[in-house]
Amino acid sequence: MTTLRIAFFSFSFAAAAGCAALGAGAGIADEMGGVPEIRPGVLKGYLPKEAVPDSSALLPPPPAVGSAAEALDQDIARANLALRGTSRWKLASMDADLGFPAAAGDFSCALGAPVTAEDTPRLYVMLRRVMTDAGAATGAAKTKYQHARPFMLDSQPTCAPDQEQALRTSGSYPSGHTSIGWAWALVLSEASPDQSEAILARGRAFGESRLVCNVHWESDVIEGRFMGAATVARLHDEPEFLADLEAAESELTAARAKNLPPQNDCKFEAEALGETPPQSP
């Protein structure tokens, strides 16, 4: 599992924002109790390697060639191509960036509060550590099936061209970004229950961004959510995670009391999320 974890993050963070952004949170981790890195900019998760959910054991194989499930995947992929160049496409490109501090703001509009190393330091570090665990949970099935991605078959652009080379060597099934986004949505909805509907809706959209981006199939996204949920279920057995979750709730309450605004452009996000692909004939 250690090899799989490293392989996953070799892709994810080489394809993300870059070393400067990733390094920005490392000093905060030290201040928050010296959480070690498993590679530059990537914090150690909460789960020991033997406790990370095994996607190769939990998931069925991806849709078989010629099956109805594969046809549905292809129909949905074609429909999402119509969003190229739209605001939804731009948001999908932003969602593709797993680098911190940029990724910390992905749920700030849904939360109605900023998520930064300065304003919510325990929450900031928690999201980074949950990302490690939720991403690692997808590694076994990715390696086992090596499922080809949509852009590799349809030769159409993606919303993250700088990531394409790395994506070609990382199996499509299940979606690691979706697992991470859904795990974030679940833990944030616990930290901020009054905003849970908006948070979960944003988590769903985060996974759907992978369809808009032309880098994942619908089946990848569905099973990515499953692995994100499996990861969060396991995290609830970890006292360190539970302590950080409680602290995150207090931080968000304090941020709202100060009337601190989200760091992202919430008007743009709302408009982008209102754009949907046309229905397949």
For residues 111 and 194, what is the distance between their CA atoms, to the nearest angstrom? Answer: 9
Residue 236 and residue 35: Cα distance in Å, rounded?
Answer: 19
- Cα three-residue angle 244-103-126, rounded to 5 degrees: 10
Of 128, 202, 216, 225, which one is the catalytic site residue? 216
Our answer to whether residue 106 is catalytic in this structure is no
Of 177, 202, 225, 244, the catalytic one is 177
* Catalytic residue flag (residue 177): yes
CA nearest 132: which of 188, 171, 179?
179
- Tell me how far apart the alpha carbons of residues 137 and 180 are, in angstroms, rounded to a whole number: 9
225 is catalytic: no
Residue 42: strand pairing partners: 39
Tell me which residue of 121, 166, 234, 140 sits closest to 10, measured CA to CA.
166
Q: Are 213 and 81 in contact (CB under 8 A)?
A: no
- CA–chain centroid gap for 28, Å, is 21
Q: Which of 95, 106, 220, 244 is catalytic?
A: 220
Rounded alpha-carbon distances, angstroms, from residue 31 to 26, 85, 118, 235: 9, 41, 11, 22
Active site residue 54: no
- Residues designated catalytic: 177, 210, 216, 220
